[in-house]
Amino acid sequence: MIGAGIVGGSGYTGGELLRLLHFHPEVTVTQITSRSEAGHYVHTVHPNLRDVSRLQFIHPDALEACDVLFLCLPHGTAATEIEHYAALAPRIVDLSADFRLDDTETYARWYGGTHPAPDWLSRFVYGLPEVSREQLRDAQYVSGVGCNATVTNLALLPLVRDGLVEQVYAEIKVGSSEAGNAPSASSHHPVRSGAVRTYAATGHRHLAEIEMVLGRETSVRFSLTAIEMIRGAHLLAHVTLRETQTEKDIWRLYRAAYNDEPFVRLVSGRTGLHRLPEPRIVAGTNYCDIGFEMDTDGQHLVVVAAIDNLGKGAAGSAVQSMNLMLGFDERTGLAFPGIYP
């Protein structure tokens, strides 16, 4: 049995991770830290885990050695303490943005400062199995993924790999949990409830991750809009294609790319309420649903995709990556199909 620790477990991502790992047959969470909640049972912060987990939060200074550590810390924190954590566990999955990017200049541009541990960047494998599966096998250190980047990358990757993309204009609608559990002016209920508020019309930092995965020569412009939703990221991307394609051509392309992917589902029906992806359907799961519609000219493709930002966009991908690191079936502990309605 693998002993796992969660550092920074009082946030939404830490709670989601604890929920997933509790039902993993090969892993036991032995410790979970929180400075503010030390001494309290986890269910006082994550009430869905009442009578499920009997763990209590411990102070980070009490953290002991274990087989794998999950770091769910604010951006910029893990990188300043990575040597400490590496001494406690042979394998680390960092869910922050600290080790996602592949060079220091890009990090400085998007995160506004010098990287605290530049020598460690090359040691981390990007934690999206659909992109880095072979590198993740037996990896020691794995980065987390950005939820907005993940839904965009998975939606567009088959088109980019086939050289079909000329230009992408996309909007991602996001739920309130993406902002974390710390109260702020933007999360105040009278402001957030009923919102359709574009908060990043251009230049969101997840674009750096998109460029890293899709290639910096791929022209992607995207905006983020907060809507009345708790979990989820919903992508609607208008893609100009370099060559005329039929809808059957696109189906063949996506099937070839994702038929063997356990957590990517193609959803593109001609009728029905759910003929295109919707975040509500994937809430609580590790799935990414992708669909599309081709315009009549054959060169304007609309791609729609949905994930749970706390699932496939964070904790789900982290567990899937851990499974690959440790030689487990990557689907282990991630079978939950969601609920409906």
Lookup: tokens for 288: 């990414």
Radius of gyration of the chain (CA): 20
Closest to 221 in 3D by CA, of 274, 299, 166: 166
Known catalytic residue: 72?
no
For residue 245, give Cα distances in angstroms to 170, 236, 252, 277, 294: 20, 19, 11, 22, 8
Is the previous residue joined to 190 through a cis bond, with omega within 30 degrees of 0? Answer: no
Query: What is d(CA 281, CA 293) in angstroms, rounded to the nearest whole number?
Result: 19
Residue 48, amino acid: N
The amino acid sitting at 227 is I
| Sheet arrangement for strand 124-125 | 57-58, 27-33, 2-7, 68-71, 91-94, 141-143, 124-125
The per-residue DSSP string of 207-269 comes to HHHHHHHH-TTS-EEEEEEEES-SS-EEEEEEEEESS---HHHHHHHHHHHHTT-TTEEE---
E strand segments, 95-164: 124-125, 141-143
Task: Name residue, tokens 């503010």.
Answer: 36
Q: For residues 313 and 150, what is the distance between their CA atoms, to the nearest angstrom?
A: 6
Question: What's the residue count for the chain?
Answer: 341
Residue in 66, 72, 147, 288 annotated catalytic: 147
Answer whether 67's CB lies under 8 Å from 90's CB: yes
Per DSSP, the three-state class of 72 is: coil
Distance CA 281, CA 265 (A): 12
The residues annotated as belonging to the active site are 147
